[in-house]
């Protein structure tokens, strides 16, 4: 299997030396106040040790060859555990009028600004740990292989901020819950900038249902490195929508891990418009039988943006279904990356897995890279993937223009219809409309 060496051969990349600049980042972690729960401390240490060993990934690592973290070295990122001062009135208004709300500012849970529908409970991570909420230790400690995910290791080293949200057994919550991750960063050219390490856990009890709308936003320069876990008990249903619209000077890295027990249903969707360098990682673990998990997404990139969707659908047991649908538009010198993997273990017979990625390049300097991967150890499965990359269809464009539609309008129409195919997979209608509005706004912004 893949080991750690430093050679570059045959063009396929592998592990390399850490970014030297990365190591001072741990300074603040060792100084954190010791928490009440022993496991928190243990996880911090594991994370710090792992990160000290690996450092930040470089393009020579398998899985990191397309996202370069070098721009991070321009700033010196520091973690500050002190409460942040901010103007609550200046926070963005909720997206949906009737939704519940959880607010985090620079990763810190704001209890006073949060309102929750009946049947949903939330607490800051440290509080939930102190009160020993059932399951959280187990669900937060399962972070996967930290040596392969150095940013998650870093997040673990700083384990303190964030929150836990739980839905009781049998409760089907109709009202969506908006989770706002608002980040306040430094001035654009500042050397020192805040590093933010939130960790969130969504716990769904047996046979419960919940809709989450995550918004990642902010201003200025900052590093938002989050770890988000969703633990679904048997027969629970989670709809998870994300708007990644971080500040244009910010760095966003999120690792979202889903664990499904039996008969779970998960529908995930994410849009990526913000961030200078960003990577959204999703790990869908279909641990028991008859689970269904789908994840979709769109990206709209321009300027010098670099965005990376890295997805793993891991089938452990029989009868699972997973789907990955990604589409995106790239303009200017932006770069888009899709790395998807379906892993079917020996015991996961009768698995259905699907993966697709389609990129539309709008400018000569735009770049799209895809690595749709299948790793299959069971024979009675159906797995396939498709990936394409190309330009706007000149015939379609000509058709529209020949009907008197101006070229820019025609282009917008084609982009909208290209993305619409994916948006239709969003089952929650008000959220689908929000995504549509986001696409229109992006296209309008481009024409200015």
Q: What gap in Å lies between CA 225 and CA 255, rounded to an integer?
A: 8
Query: Using the rule CB under 8 A, is 31 a contact of other proteins?
Result: no
Query: Using the rule CB under 8 A, is 173 a contact of other proteins?
Result: no
Query: Using the rule CB under 8 A, is 311 a contact of other proteins?
Result: no
| Count of residues touching other proteins (by CB under 8 A) | 49
Which residue matches tokens 């290791």? 153
**CB under 8 Å to 251, separation ≥6 — which residues?**
71, 72, 222, 223, 224, 225, 275, 276, 277, 278
Stretch that binds other proteins, among 19-27, 32-40, 120-128, 355-363 (CB under 8 A): 355-363
Nearer to other proteins, 350 or 436 (CB): 350
Query: Using the rule CB under 8 A, is 234 a contact of other proteins?
Result: no
Which residue matches tokens 């998807």? 340
Query: Using the rule CB under 8 A, is 332 a contact of other proteins?
Result: no
Stretch that binds other proteins, among 244-252, 304-312, 360-368, 415-423 (CB under 8 A): 360-368
Contact 116, 122 (CB under 8 A): yes
Under DSSP, is residue 267 helix (H, G, I), strand (E, B) or coil? strand
Query: Using the rule CB under 8 A, is 148 a contact of other proteins?
Result: no
Nearer to other proteins, 88 or 365 (CB): 365
Query: Using the rule CB under 8 A, is 9 a contact of other proteins?
Result: yes
Query: Using the rule CB under 8 A, is 71 a contact of other proteins?
Result: no
**Binding residue (CB under 8 A) for other proteins from 14, 68, 115, 289:** 14
**Binding residue (CB under 8 A) for other proteins from 1, 31, 89, 90:** 1
Nearer to other proteins, 1 or 82 (CB): 1
Nearer to other proteins, 137 or 367 (CB): 367
Q: What proportions of the chain, in percent to the nearest 5, are helix, strand and coil?
A: 25, 40, 40
Q: How far is the CB of 388 from other proteins (least distance, A)?
A: 5
DSSP single-letter state for residue 275: -
Query: Using the rule CB under 8 A, is 146 a contact of other proteins?
Result: no
Q: How far is the CB of 393 from other proteins (least distance, A)?
A: 10
**CB under 8 Å to 154, separation ≥6 — which residues?**
25, 26, 47, 51, 197, 225
Query: Using the rule CB under 8 A, is 405 a contact of other proteins?
Result: no
Query: Using the rule CB under 8 A, is 62 a contact of other proteins?
Result: yes
Interhelix angle 407-423/394-402, rounded to 10 degrees, is 120
Nearer to other proteins, 350 or 401 (CB): 350
**Binding residue (CB under 8 A) for other proteins from 165, 300, 359, 415:** 359
- What are the CA-CA distances from residue 263 to residues 144, 234, 292, 320 (Å)? 22, 6, 7, 9
Interhelix angle 38-54/150-157, rounded to 10 degrees, is 140
Stretch that binds other proteins, among 12-20, 86-94, 142-150, 302-310 (CB under 8 A): 12-20
Q: What gap in Å lies between CA 123 and CA 10, rounded to an integer?
A: 50
Nearer to other proteins, 47 or 353 (CB): 353
Considering only residues 364 through 393, tell me which ones interact with other proteins, judged by CB under 8 A.
Answer: 364-391
For 376-418, the DSSP string reads E--SS-EEEEEEEEE---HHHHHHHHHTT--HHHHHHHHHHHH
Q: How far is the CB of 335 from other proteins (least distance, A)?
A: 9
**CB under 8 Å to 153, separation ≥6 — which residues?**
46, 47, 48, 50, 51, 54, 146, 147
Query: Using the rule CB under 8 A, is 421 a contact of other proteins?
Result: no
Question: Which parts of this chain interact with other proteins (CB under 8 A)?
Answer: 1-7, 9-14, 62, 66, 346, 349, 359, 361-391
């Amino acid at each position: 299997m893949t080991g750690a060496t430093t050679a570059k051969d045959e063009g396929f990349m592998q592990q390399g030396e850490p970014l030297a600049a990365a190591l001072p980042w741990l300074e603040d972690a060792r100084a954190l106040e010791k928490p009440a729960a022993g496991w928190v401390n243990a996880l911090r240490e594991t994370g710090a040790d792992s990160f000290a060993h690996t450092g930040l990934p470089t393009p020579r690592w398998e899985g990191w060859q397309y996202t370069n973290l070098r721009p991070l070295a321009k700033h010196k990122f520091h973690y500050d555990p002190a409460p942040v001062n901010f103007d609550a009135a200046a926070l963005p208004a909720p997206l949906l009028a009737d939704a519940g709300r959880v607010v985090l500012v620079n990763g810190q849970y704001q209890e006073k600004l949060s309102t929750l529908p009946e049947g949903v409970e939330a607490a800051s991570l440290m509080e939930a740990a102190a009160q020993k909420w059932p399951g959280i230790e187990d669900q937060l400690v399962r972070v996967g292989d930290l040596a392969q995910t150095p940013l998650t290791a870093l997040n673990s080293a700083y384990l303190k901020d964030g929150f836990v949200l739980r839905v009781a057994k049998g409760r089907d919550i109709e009202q969506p819950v908006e989770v706002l991750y608002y980040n306040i960063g430094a001035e654009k050219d500042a050397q020192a900038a805040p590093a933010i390490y939130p960790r969130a856990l969504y716990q769904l009890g047996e046979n419960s249902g919940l809709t989450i709308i995550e918004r990642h936003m902010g201003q200025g320069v900052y590093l938002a490195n989050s770890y988000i876990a969703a633990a679904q008990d048997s027969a629970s249903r989670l709809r998870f929508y994300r708007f990644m619209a971080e500040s244009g000077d910010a760095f966003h890295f999120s690792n979202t891990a889903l664990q499904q027990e039996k008969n779970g249903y998960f529908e995930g969707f994410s849009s990526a418009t913000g961030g200078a360098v960003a990577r959204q990682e999703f790990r869908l673990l279909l641990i028991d039988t008859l689970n269904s998990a789908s994840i979709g997404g769109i990206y709209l990139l321009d300027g010098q943006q670099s965005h990376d969707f890295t997805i793993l659908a891991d089938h452990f047991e029989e009868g699972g279904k997973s789907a990955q649908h990604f589409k995106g538009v790239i303009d200017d010198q932006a770069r888009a990356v899709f790395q998807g993997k379906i892993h079917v273990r020996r015991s996961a017979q009768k698995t259905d897995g699907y993966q697709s990625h389609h990129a539309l390049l709008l400018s000569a300097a735009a770049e799209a890279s895809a690595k749709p991967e299948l790793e299959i150890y069971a024979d009675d499965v159906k797995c396939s993937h498709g990936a394409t990359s190309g330009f706007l269809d000149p015939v379609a464009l000509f058709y529209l223009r020949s009907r008197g539609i101006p070229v820019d309008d025609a282009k917008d129409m084609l982009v909208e219809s290209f993305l619409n195919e994916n948006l239709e997979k969003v089952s929650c209608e008000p959220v689908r409309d929000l995504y549509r509005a986001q696409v229109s706004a992006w296209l309008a912004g481009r024409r200015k």
